[in-house]
Each structure stands twice: as C-alpha cells, then as structure tokens.
Amino acid sequence: MVAPAAEPSITDYVQPGLRDLSFTAKVLSAKQSELKKINQDFSVSYRFSSSNVWLKEPMMLRMESVVDDTKIFYIVNGTKRLVSVPRTGLRQREDLSKAPGKRQTPLDFGLLTPSLFKGLFQAKFVRTESRGDLKGCLVFDLTYLPSLDDTSRNRVWVDPQRKYTPKREWYSQLGGYLMATFTYSDLQAVGGIYVPRKVSVNNAEGKFAGSTAYQNVKVNTGLATSLFDAS
C-alpha cells in the first residue's frame, strides 16, 4: 500500500527571513459608495490619502497619517492597540486579546510570516488552484484559534515559490458571507523577500472599491522595538 501524500502546510510558505518592513501606503483610487458596502471602518481607512507604515516581527505595526493638518498615530503591538492624536491629547488604548479581527497583521499587506500561526490563525488546506492566473497557487482557509471566539475567516491563495498571497477573500463572522476580495500585485523582490506593491479591493458584489500602492519599500533595516510602544 502507498501512503497518501501529506497535505501542504502553510508554515512551509511563510517568509521567516522577514524581520521588518517599511513603506508609504498611497491611496490610488477610492469609491466610498462601494467601500461602505464592506463596512464603515474600512471605508474610513481609505480617507487617509497617504500613510507611513512600519512592520516588525512578531506582530508589531505602526502607521502614521495626516488628516487636515492633524497627525494620527496607530500602533498595534501583539494584543495591544494605541490610537494617538497628539494635537488633541487623545491616547486611546485597547486590549485586542479577545478581538482578533481588529488586529492588523502582515496578512493585510499580502504577506505571510511565522507569527501569524503562533497563537492567532490556524490554516486548512483546500486545494491547488488549477485554473486562470492563479494556477499552481495553494489555497488555504485561515480561521482564528477557537479560544479567540471569532468565526470570521480568510481564504488565501499562496504563491508557493514567492511566498506571498496574490489573492485573499475575507468572510464575515456573522453568517460567514463574503465581505471583500483583495488582489495583491506589482511584486518586488527586496533582499530576497517578495513584497507586493499594490493592493486592490472589490466588495462582495464584485465591484471595484479601491486600490493602494506601497512605495519606498524597505526590508530588514533593523527597526527599533521602541517604535511600536503601545503603552
């Protein structure tokens, strides 16, 4: 008898060499009427025409945006989130340990890193794509660990050679319906790490809602942990 072949494991397709990443996210197009069909918070995020973004493993994110001459800082460090508006004195802290869907992660930028699968997501292999532009990509369903009590999920198409996600579908916690589809493109190899430099999003109706370019991409520059202080 021949033993059945083992299913692919998503941990074989993460980018362990990615220690940190920085870039400028510039909104190229935004259709608020279509973005609002995804959800209100998502549409608001596209009102920031440009943001500086820093990511560091494991699970650290910092974003800086300017709206009407007012600078806004957004930091996620593990399960802690801080929103700061120095001009108004606002420093809003939140514990996201029981709200994993509120945590922005490398997955939002089309990237797979080891920390995503250490206490946050679990992955189930679905199939190998056999058609279209994504032929050969491995398809996985990503769900949160049961202890996190969030039934939303992501379906991702993984490029097994370049270890990024050219496509991602986001499904709701309530009813499991499709909320949005993300397409990641304009791939750039930086220091042996493949980084998509453009993301486009369609809502559940398949209508184009917006696109963002990632400019001035820098990889593994040694970002200081202090940059992600959410206290």
Unique residue bearing structure tokens 């089309």: 110
Q: What is the pLDDT of residue 122?
A: 97
Distance CA 191, CA 220 (A): 8
Q: Is the pLDDT of residue 49 over 70?
A: yes
Q: Is the pLDDT of residue 4 over 70?
A: no
Q: Which residues pair with 124 in a beta bridge?
A: 141
Distance CA 139, CA 179 (A): 18
Q: Is the pLDDT of residue 193 over 90?
A: yes
Q: What is the pLDDT of residue 209?
A: 97
CA 43, 47, 50, 54 torsion: positive or negative?
Answer: negative
The answer to whether the beta carbons of residues 167 and 184 sit under 8 Å apart is yes
Q: How confident is the model at residue 8 (pLDDT cuts 50, 70, 90)?
A: very high
Amino acid present at 173: Q
Gyration radius (Cα) of the chain, Å:
18
Distance CA 78, CA 15 (A): 19
Q: What is the rounded average pLDDT for all residues in the chain?
A: 93
Q: What is the pLDDT of residue 174?
A: 81
Find how far residue 7's CA is from the centre of its chain. 25
Domain 10-219, second-level architecture: Clam (2.50)
Q: What is the pLDDT of residue 5?
A: 66
Q: Is the pLDDT of residue 171 over 60?
A: yes
Q: Is the pLDDT of residue 18 over 60?
A: yes
Distance CA 21, CA 136 (A): 27
Q: What is the pLDDT of residue 1?
A: 60
Smallest CA-to-CA distance from 8 within 154, 146, 137, 183 is with 137
Find how far residue 67's CA is from the centre of its chain. 22
Count, residues in the chain? 231
HEC string for 162-202: CCEEEEEEEECCCCCCEEEEEEEEEEEEECCEEEEEEEEEE
Map out the domains of the chain as residue ranges: 10-219
Which residue would you say has higher pLDDT here, 220 or 45?
220
Q: Is the pLDDT of residue 182 over 60?
A: yes
